Structure 1
Amino acid sequence: MSSRIGIVGCGLMGTEHAKRMERAGGDIVAGVDVAPEARERFADTFDADVYEDHADLYAGDIDGVVITLPNAFHEEAAVATLDAGLDVLLEKPVAHDLASAERVVAAARDSEGFCMTGFTMRFYAEVTELMGRIESGEFGDVTHVEARYVRRDGVPESGWFIDPDLAGGGALVDVGVHVLDLALAALDFPAVEGVYGRTWAKREDIDVEDSATALVRCDDGATVSLDVSWAANADPGQSVAVRGSDGGALLDVGDGTLRVYDDADDATRVETADHDWLAPEDEAFVDAVEDGAPPAVSDVEEGLAVQRVVDAIYRSSETGTLVAPSQNAR
């Protein structure tokens, strides 16, 4: 029997998730949105029941719920859905601030359902290839990861992404969390002992940061450098570079390539299958709901680890000091 999926937030992202989950074999049976026009479009597109309040979902026959609301509304919807014992795909980041994210994770720990964070890149073929090589020990001890997500001109011009109350931040929580998640995954989500970070708000017409940099030191001595921008005078790109005692790799997420380095002069380019940007994650969620077991990657505990480092970056930028993330061990 197909997984019966409900979408909370029927705008662009909710609709994109629903299309791909339907192609993956999921049954889109319900949508929730406060906007009547969004509900009407969703009902027409998917022949689904629609509601104004997410609480109305739980009276129906639902197996899994996708939450694509602005960050500040993640907690209310996610906690209620988890309390109902349903599986959840929660768009990244977990929440708009650390305290809210911790409450979501507490609900997930007590729930019969699972909760995964919507870090789409974790499901890409080239990322899976990289993580497999790290886990096999091919690179030896991984000592440093460079994580970069830089746009030349990609500042959202309007909407909740540049509203600090709704988003909880700017470029760091929008795009930076994607590559920070990859960097921490490459190190197997170690405890973090210190973060030194800086954010910049160079755009006078927005109230959130447009750029951020950080250096993260883990308790085993490994480090992460993070470079994030919505608009930078630099080459754009999304990449993660891994350095180890026996080798390394450069993952270019933007063009889907993986280059592997060893003691030889030349790098080896690893070919992986092409993929849609959102489909691998949505397929994993549909399969997990049907199997009754969470996906192997991107659970909400990992999302919390990312959020703790993000919180430390903001606090370090405010104080100009090295900051230890709050309760940073998984």
Structure 2
Amino acid sequence: MRRTTPPFRVGIIGCGGISHAHAFGFGNLPSLFEVRTVCDSNQEAARRLAEPFGAPRICGDWREVIGDPEIDAVDILLPHHLHALVGVSALRAGKHVCLEKPLAITLSEGIELVHEAKASNGVFMVAFNERHRWSVRTIKRIVDEGRIGDVYMVRTDHNQNPRFAADAWYRNAQLAGGGALIGSGIHMLDLLQWFCGTATSVFATGVKLPEVLETETAASVIVEFAPRKEGCPRCIGTLDISWAAPNHPWYQFLVVYGTRGTVSTLRGDIVSLRTAGEQEEFRAPEGDTWTDSFREELRHWGECIAQGATPLTDAREAFRSLEICVAAYRSMETGASVRIPLPV
């Protein structure tokens, strides 16, 4: 029977690269979660991930996890093409669900998850950890306090140099749903719509480097947003992303422009506020790292389960970033701006 109070019994489904950050989060939240099962088709990977948690059950079939009455919640960390299948199945089994981004790889799959999450009595969250970074939360607080006025533009820049094995699922467009944009750029698209509101159109272009991926390795995206309220300016958001920057440090830039000032971060350790009347810098707490954002997003999920609350990135919110991403791919194909909402 599903517990109604923490610690909630968790099954981790998928032991790829991102699973280690999630395991770090669970390991630092013992009052909220108890990892009971670790599942992966690679049993050795499952054993390695399970080791710090004592002696949780190991299995190779995700169906065993969602069918286990001793599991309250599942953390789904699978290749993108499996998100809808496993997410829907877990919701129908009555589990609370944390699903690694993206929500899905098609709009129809995304809508199915939105409907299932609404019908379920479980708490469903898509894992957009960037919202839980110290720097992003600090910028959002400053914006919400009105210190830079009405937001009219947001710029993001994200660079990585991932090394994928020849048989990695990320190299397969059918499994990944795309390349750099849906792989990590969707984090930035989520931030754009969080700061700017409702998207109305998208224009995008991309570059393919076949030796890296069969889909886009780099992309530039411009998103137009409706005014948040009467009398406010419309907002535009931009994203530049590359997955092919040799010897380039992991880099992420976020700047929010308002009618009275700007607030920005370059690497996440310092937030800079600039207005006509003030210049102020905020520094991250000592020891704060990118990995801490995974702990904080899982803390948010656990608290929502305990309180029966709606997570920041529920299915509907995650669908909005998926729709922007799909529109960007359609724009790359046609060379034209694409209006939102999209027909399904």
C-alpha separation between the residues in 2 aligned to 1:327 and 1:182?
20
Cα shift at 1:135: 1.5
Give 1:169's aligned residue: 178
Alignment partner, residue 115 of structure 2: 106
- Deviating more after overlay: 57-66 vs 23-32: 57-66
Describe how 1:192-231 pairs up with structure 2 within 5 A.
Answer: 192-220=199-227, 221-231=234-244
1:69 to 65, 78, 88: 78
Instruction: Describe the shift of the 1:44–1:136 C-alpha distance in structure 2 as closer, same or farther (beyond 3 A).
Output: closer
Residue identity matched to 1:184: Q
Is the Cα–Cα contact under 8 Å of residues 15 and 42 in structure 1 kept in the other structure? yes
Structure 1 position 186 matched with structure 2 position 195: yes
| Structure 2 counterpart of 1:53, from 61, 64, 74 | 61
Structure 1 runs, 4 residues or longer, greater than 4 Å off? 42-45, 232-236
2:274 and 2:314 mapped to 1: Cα distance? 30
- Aligned-partner residue type, residue 283 of structure 1: R
| Distance verdict in 2 for CA 1:271–1:104, change over 3 Å | same
Change (3 A) 1:312 1:36: same
Once the 2 structures are TM-superposed, how far is the Cα of residue 60 of structure 1 from its aligned partner? 2.2
TM-superposed CA distance for 1:235, in Å, is 8.2
TM-score, scaled relative to structure 2: 0.86
1:4: which partner in 2?
A: 9
Which deviates further from its counterpart, 281-290 or 206-215?
A: 281-290
* Correspondence 1:238-257 to 2 at 5 A: 238-252=252-266, 254-257=267-270
Give the conservation status (yes or no) of the 8 Å contact 2:158–2:251: yes
Report what 1:37 is aligned to. Answer: 44
1:270 paired to 2:277? no
Of 161-170 and 46-55, deviating more is 46-55
* Matched residue count: 322
Alpha-carbon distance, 1:134 to partner: 1.4
Structure 2: which 5+ runs fail to align? Answer: 1-5, 228-233
Aligned partner of residue 339 in structure 2, secondary structure? coil
TM-score (norm 1): 0.90
CA contact (8 A) 2:73 2:95 kept: yes
Alpha carbons 1:257, 1:272 under 8 Å: kept: yes
SS in structure 2 at match of 1:161: helix
Question: Contact 1:2–1:290 at 8 Å: present in 2 too?
Answer: no
Q: CA deviation at 1:193?
A: 1.7
Q: What residue in structure 1 maps to residue 271 of structure 2?
A: 258
State the superposition RMSD in angstroms.
2.2
Any residues of structure 2 matched to 1:120-131 within 5 Å, and which?
Answer: 120-131=129-140
State the distance in 1 between where 2:215 and 2:321 align. 19
